[in-house]
C-alpha cells in the first residue's frame, strides 16, 4: 500500500465522523449505534440520507451543505477516496455528515429498520454481466427496504444507459412509484439545487458529451420482487480508470 494511502487511513482514524468496522467485528460484536444514529451521533431527529458508493463524497458533502435540516452518511469501501470528503467536511466543521467505510452488502448491520429516509446511488459500476452486483438490482432493493422508512426514496444518477434502462425496467416490473425520470438530466428543464452538485466522474462524462440519466422512486414494500425480463444493449465505451464496461469486444480505440 502506498505511503499516501496509509497517511489518509491514519487521518481518517482520527476523524470522529468516520466509522470503519471489519466484518469480523460486526459478526461478533455488531454495531452499537445501529438504530441510534439520530440519538447518539447526530443528536437530532432529522431524516438520514445515505450516499452509497460515495467515492470522494462529493454528493454527501454537497447535500449536507445545502440541507442542514437533514443528516447525510457517505458509504464506500474505498477509504483513500472517502478521505477527500471526510477531510473537507471535518475541516468545515460540518455536524450533519458522517462516513461509513464498509461493503454496501453489509448496510443492514449498521442501520435499523426505518432508520433511513433516502438513498442516493451516484454513478455506480453498471455491472452489465452480474445482475446481483448491480446496486439497483432486486437483491439490493431487498436490503434497502430493510432499512428505509415506509415511503423511503431512492435516487439514481448515472452516465450508463444500460444501468439506467435496467433500473427503469426494474422499477416498472415492481410497480414502484416514480417521482422523476429523465435520460438527459441537464436538458430536462428540472430546476433543482441538487443539479448543481457534480461528482468527479460526472464532470468528465459531461465534458465527454455524454448525457446524465436520473430516476427517483419510492421503494415501497413488496411481498416478492421480480427481475425485469428485458434485453438491454451494453454500453460501448470505457469508463475512466475502470475496466471496459461493455462485455463485447470493441476495436475502436479510445480518443
- In this prediction, residue 165 carries a pLDDT of 98
Q: What is the CA radius of gyration of the chain?
A: 18
Provide mean pLDDT across the span 64-68: 95
Position 231 pLDDT exceeds 70: yes
Position 66 pLDDT exceeds 50: yes
- 184 included as an active-site residue: no
From the candidates 45, 125, 183, 184, give the one annotated as an active-site residue: 125
pLDDT band for position 238 (cuts 50, 70, 90)? low
pTM: 0.89
Q: How many CB atoms lie within 10 A of CB 172?
A: 13
Beta bridge partners of 180: 216
Q: Is 85 within 8 Å of 61 (Cβ atoms)?
A: yes
Q: Is 111 within 8 Å of 34 (Cβ atoms)?
A: yes
Q: What is the pLDDT of residues 68-122, one digit of tens each?
A: 999 999 999 988 889 999 999 999 999 999 999 999 999 999 999 999 999 999 9
- In this prediction, residue 203 carries a pLDDT of 84
Residue with cell 480505440: 253
CA neighbor of 120 nearest in space, from 61, 32, 204: 61
Q: What is the pLDDT of residues 1-26, one digit of tens each?
A: 455 777 787 788 889 999 988 888 89
Instruction: Show Cβ contacts of residue 229 under 8 Å, excluding neighbours closer than 6 positions.
Output: 173
Amino acid at each position: 500500500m502506498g505511503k499516501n494511502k496509509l497517511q489518509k487511513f491514519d487521518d481518517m482514524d482520527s476523524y470522529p465522523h468516520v466509522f470503519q468496522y471489519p466484518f469480523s467485528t460486526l459478526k461478533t460484536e455488531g454495531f452499537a449505534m445501529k438504530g441510534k444514529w439520530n440519538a447518539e451521533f447526530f443528536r437530532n431527529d432529522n431524516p438520514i440520507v445515505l450516499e452509497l458508493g460515495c467515492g470522494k463524497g462529493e454528493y454527501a458533502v454537497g447535500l449536507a451543505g445545502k440541507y442542514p435540516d437533514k443528516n447525510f452518511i457517505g458509504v464506500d469501501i474505498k477509504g483513500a477516496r472517502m478521505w477527500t470528503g471526510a477531510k473537507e467536511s471535518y475541516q468545515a466543521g460540518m455536524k450533519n455528515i458522517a462516513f461509513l467505510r464498509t461493503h454496501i452488502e453489509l448496510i443492514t448491520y449498521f442501520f435499523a429498520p426505518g432508520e433511513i429516509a433516502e438513498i442516493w446511488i451516484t454513478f455506480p459500476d453498471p455491472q452489465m454481466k452480474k445482475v446481483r452486483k448491480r446496486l439497483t438490482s432486486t437483491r439490493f432493493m431487498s436490503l434497502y427496504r430493510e432499512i428505509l422508512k415506509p415511503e423511503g426514496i431512492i435516487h439514481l444518477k448515472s452516465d450508463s444507459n444500460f444501468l439506467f434502462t435496467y433500473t427503469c425496467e426494474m422499477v416498472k416490473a415492481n410497480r414502484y412509484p416514480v417521482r422523476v425520470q429523465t435520460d438527459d438530466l441537464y436538458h430536462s428543464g428540472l430546476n433543482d439545487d441538487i443539479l448543481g452538485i457534480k461528482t468527479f466522474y460526472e464532470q468528465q462524462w459531461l465534458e465527454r458529451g455524454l448525457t446524465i440519466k436520473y430516476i427517483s422512486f419510492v421503494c415501497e414494500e413488496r411481498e416478492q420482487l421480480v427481475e425485469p425480463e428485458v434485453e438491454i444493449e451494453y454500453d460501448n465505451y470505457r469508463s475512466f480508470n475502470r475496466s471496459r464496461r461493455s462485455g463485447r469486444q470493441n476495436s475502436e480505440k479510445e480518443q
